Structure 1
Amino acid sequence: MDKKVDIDWKTLGFDYIKTDLRFISHYKDGKWDEGQLTEDNMLHISEGSTALHYGQQCFEGLKAYRCKDGSINLFRPEENARRMMRSCRRLLMAEYPEDKFIEAVKKVVKANEHWIPPYGTGGSLYIRPFMIGVGDNVGVKPADEYIFSIFVTPVGAYFKGGLTPTNFVVSDYDRAAPVGTGAAKVGGNYAASLLAGKKAKERSFSDAIYLDPATHTKIEEVGAANFFGITKDGWFITPLSPSILPSITKYSLLWLAENRLGLQVREGDVYIDQLDQFAEAGACGTAAVISPIAGIQYGDDFHVFYSETEVGPLTRKLYDELVGIQYGDVEAPTGWITKV
């Protein structure tokens, strides 16, 4: 903490800021090298890299948090490591081992710890591990070489004025194919969502909601986040589908809803024409933790949940519980926090 950075933590957004060091490791001849920290934030790759032509790449997102006592928390990094390995298997990429993943994350965070926003600002250090297929290729086949890298950047509180409910619109576009790459965290899923998101924002909605690609009757994802609803009779429900990215935040909220708030929980179908069963709803993910959903536009119908201006009480409790755990103010379930 001896170094200082010239940042106004109060106005910090969610943008790329070049920090001091990042981790990089190369896979060649069937094995990963030891990897190293480097100041160079530019990648030097072959024009034939499969990441450029065939989308053979995947990534993760997690955060480091400064606690009141000055220590640093990582939230469930082993889950990110495992999810990245699953993404790699889906795209026939070399897997980066879980223990080495966590070790590399710790190394990068420690090397850039003066970039972590101070406790109480609502900010955190966003961590972006990613892997790309590289090497001299031209045919449609998996690469023989890969780069695994991790960079970090400080990000501000997602909600500057506190939790804010916003509206979403159901899209006519599909985010992913029924048995495609929807459950893997790959760039193609996000590229496919850009047009739908742009059209939603042009209509003054926060983002698009995607229905299941097979029948277009069930909610799958909300922009780049997972959906949850809390029913009027006390059920916390999230969609279950092979084309949904398995959100670490979502599964954390499922556990907290049941074990800390005493709600009944279920993963299952959420039909777009049955929204009136929910008293509250939200989108959840690493960036915002929870984005409360005020209302959903579906065709000519606009459905309001708890309120267009106020956050539902159970949504707020879940948010406070999870954020409290991440910053070390609330007791964490066993194994959820890794210290740097």
Structure 2
Amino acid sequence: MKKDVNIDWSQLGFGYIKTDLRYISIWKDGKWDEGKLVEDNNITISEASTALHYGQQCFEGMKAYRTKNGDIQLFRPDQNAKRLNNSCKRILMPEIPEEKFIHACKQVIKANEAYVPPYGTGATLYLRPFVIGIGDNLGVRPAPEYMFCVFCSPVGPYFKGGMSPVNFVITQYDRAAPYGTGAAKVGGNYAGSLLPNSIAKSKGFADCIYLDPATHTKIEEVGAANFFGITHDDKFVTPISPSILPSITKYSLMHIAKHYLGLEVEERDVFIDKLDEFKEAGACGTAAVISPIGGIEYNNKLHVFYSETEVGPITQKLYDTLCGIQFGDIEGPEGWIVKVD
């Protein structure tokens, strides 16, 4: 009998809804156990866990999509597995075998299939895999044990307006140090962003934009997303820096821009005082997909790109193509789509 979860899919925001089951696996004595699905959405760990005191933890964000014929599919989960393992390596946590990672995600999706939103609603099932250091420990050192978990929640758009332009403001705060953990998806990066995000929102902006920490002259990230711009001669440009989180959405858009839309693609420095080279701009990531940037405020002046109210045509094509692949309406490159069966 199919479960009825009684959710108004059209009204979903980006928030937590408890689902039925989640996956937990423990690393101890040098290896991961088989893992299991559990009902309880609370976890019990030692008060001395490194995750609590020294920030030894990382996470991923990914989505499951319902296609027109009712199938469920994942988008490039192997890339999430690789990025999680790169984060683990950066803070000395054991890696998750890619097969184990994808199998865990599939188990969670199948166990919570009723929560995968219907095709056409624009909503998706968001998955949050994470790894934390646990066990009794007091000194600054790697944990004696680790926990790998995957939970899920149905979500709507990350920004309230969905696919409509929003404005951002440059912050003087730094997101990451030049040789720090900016390229790893660790919680500390996000903890540090809460204050500048709050300040930006208090001024009426969707979020803030971080410049490079060394010179404060180049765009690095847009809140918790990656930046891209479309030049007047139709080049897709995105910043390059060792401090930027390598967004799977961004690299997918780079491929789509080149091979589906026929644009030139450049990964290079984007100087904050040269915004007028772009006719369109956007922020991209798993949660937001694409948020068109209406304008960026810098030195008390708002630079407007295509429009503060309308989405630029190339940004719209990028969004439509990416979502078309994710929801199964457009054929993606080989290996991008993994069916959940």
TM range (shorter): over 0.9
Partner of 2:125: 125
Once the two structures are superposed, the pairs formed by residues 143-182 of structure 1 within 5 Å of their partners are 143-158=143-158, 163-182=163-182
The more displaced of 9-18 and 214-223 is: 9-18
Partner of 1:331: 331
Partner of 2:81: 81
In 2, are the aligned partners of 1:27 and 1:147 still within 8 Å (CA)? Answer: yes
Partner of 1:269: 269
The answer as to 2:18 corresponding to 1:18 is yes
Cα distance in 1 between the residues matched to 2:276 and 2:162? 26
Once the two structures are superposed, the pairs formed by residues 84-233 of structure 1 within 5 Å of their partners are 84-158=84-158, 163-233=163-233
Once the two structures are superposed, the pairs formed by residues 8-47 of structure 1 within 5 Å of their partners are 8-47=8-47
Partner of 2:253: 253
In 2, are the aligned partners of 1:166 and 1:295 still within 8 Å (CA)? Answer: yes
In 2, are the aligned partners of 1:121 and 1:157 still within 8 Å (CA)? Answer: no
Shift of 1:300: 2.2
Shift of 1:301: 2.2
Partner AA of 1:163 in structure 2: M
In 1, are the aligned partners of 2:211 and 2:219 still within 8 Å (CA)? Answer: yes
Partner AA of 2:252 in structure 1: S
The gaps in structure 2 that reach 5 residues or longer are: none
Partner AA of 1:274 in structure 2: K
TM-score normalised to structure 2 length: 0.98
Partner of 1:5: 5
Total equivalences in the alignment:
340
Q: Deviations over 1:192-232 (max 9, x none)?
A: 00000000000000000000001100000000000000000
Cα distance in 2 between the residues matched to 1:252 and 1:114? 28
Task: Indicate the percent of aligned positions where both proteins have the same amino acid.
Answer: 70
In 1, are the aligned partners of 2:58 and 2:87 still within 8 Å (CA)? Answer: yes
Partner AA of 1:316 in structure 2: Q
Counterpart of 1:190 in 2: which secondary structure? Answer: helix
Cα distance in 1 between the residues matched to 2:245 and 2:81? 14
Partner of 2:297: 297
Supply the RMSD in Å over aligned alpha carbons: 1.0
Shift of 1:10: 1.4
Shift of 1:288: 1.6
Shift of 1:6: 1.2
Q: Stretches of 4+ moved more than 3 A in 1?
A: 157-162
Cα distance in 2 between the residues matched to 1:45 and 1:111? 24
Cα distance in 1 between the residues matched to 2:10 and 2:84? 32
Cα distance in 1 between the residues matched to 2:9 and 2:58? 30
Cα distance in 2 between the residues matched to 1:9 and 1:327? 16
In 1, are the aligned partners of 2:162 and 2:291 still within 8 Å (CA)? Answer: no
Partner of 2:49: 49
Cα distance in 2 between the residues matched to 1:23 and 1:195? 32
Counterpart of 1:151 in 2: which secondary structure? Answer: strand
In 1, are the aligned partners of 2:13 and 2:160 still within 8 Å (CA)? Answer: no
The gaps in structure 1 that reach 5 residues or longer are: none
